[in-house]
Amino acid sequence: MPNAASGAGEVTSEQRTISDVTGIDLATSGTVDVSTGPPSLTVEAPADLLPLLTSEVSGGTLVLSVEDRAVLRGASRIHYTVTVPSLERIVISGAGTVRHPDIRGSSLTVDIEGSGDVVVGGSVDEQVVSVHGSGSYEAAGLATKITEIRISGSGEADVTVSDSLTVDVSGSGDVTYRGSPKVQQHISGTGEVTQAR
């Protein structure tokens, strides 16, 4: 039988030590708020869920997950506060949310599997975004020069691009863009690529 936790208890917080990472992989539910600074991690969750929430560093990526086969109730009350010197990669496999209001760097890679959401702002030269499922990528506040987006399913992406935008949509996914980039698009299905007004 999988471990089960009610998630009905009082929310408590726990600080955990992490090494320098450039990526975040959210493999469970919950919300992750990221900011720039020395590496740190604080986990807030109902007391009975905290021991089931794992945080490990693998290949420069902070992986936030749960103990094997754990069933989490009250997962909407899980909140991670992460500080990293720079963020270059975001992965979501589930229904969680990752937010970073001010990413700065040369490149960003985002991979959303399922119904997760990524909300980011700031400025990077280049970004590559993949959305598989019904997830959403909200990056109108992230200025980029070059953006590549792949959507399979009903996902959505909202981006700002100045030079080059490449879009591949399979399904009913939608891409909205700001700026006046050169646009290359391939759509199979009912998806749309629209310039915001």
Span 24-81, pLDDT tens digits: 999 999 999 999 999 999 999 999 899 999 999 999 999 999 987 666 766 778 999 9
* C-alpha span between 49 and 29 (Å, rounded): 12
DSSP the chain: ---EE---S-EEEEEE-----SEEEE-SSSEEEEEESS-EEEEEEETTTGGGEEEEEETTEEEEEESTT-EESSGGG-EEEEEES---EEEEEES-EEEEEEEEEEEEEEEEEES-EEEEEEEEEEEEEEEEES-EEEEEEEEEEEEEEEEEES-EEEEEEEEEEEEEEEES-EEEEES--EEEEEEEES-EEEE--
Check residue 8 and give its pLDDT. 61
**CA atoms within 13 Å, Cβ hemisphere of 143:** 4
Question: In percent, how much of the chain has pLDDT > 70?
Answer: 93
Phi, psi dihedrals of residue 33, rounded to the nearest 5°? -105, 120
The residue with greater pLDDT, 197 or 15, is 15
Q: Which two tokens stand for residue 44?
A: 């807030």
7-18 per-position pLDDT tens digit: 567 999 999 999
Residues with Cβ within 8 Å of 68's Cβ and at least 6 positions away in sequence, in order, are none
Check residue 92 and give its pLDDT. 97
User: Is the predicted pLDDT of residue 2 greater than 50, yes or no?
Assistant: no
**pLDDT grade for 189, boundaries at 50, 70 and 90:** very high
* C-alpha span between 28 and 98 (Å, rounded): 11
pLDDT, mean over the chain: 93
Closest to 71 in 3D by CA, of 37, 100, 97, 48? 48
User: Is the predicted pLDDT of residue 122 greater than 60, yes or no?
Assistant: yes
Check residue 4 and give its pLDDT. 52
Question: In percent, how much of the chain has pLDDT > 90?
Answer: 85
> What is the pTM assigned to this prediction?
0.94
Check residue 1 and give its pLDDT. 38
Q: How is the chain split into domains, by residue range? A: 15-190
User: Is the predicted pLDDT of residue 103 greater than 60, yes or no?
Assistant: yes
Query: What are the distances in angstroms from CA 67 to CA 53, 55, 83?
Result: 6, 10, 23
The residue with greater pLDDT, 73 or 134, is 134
- The CATH architecture one would assign to domain 15-190 is 3 Solenoid (2.160)
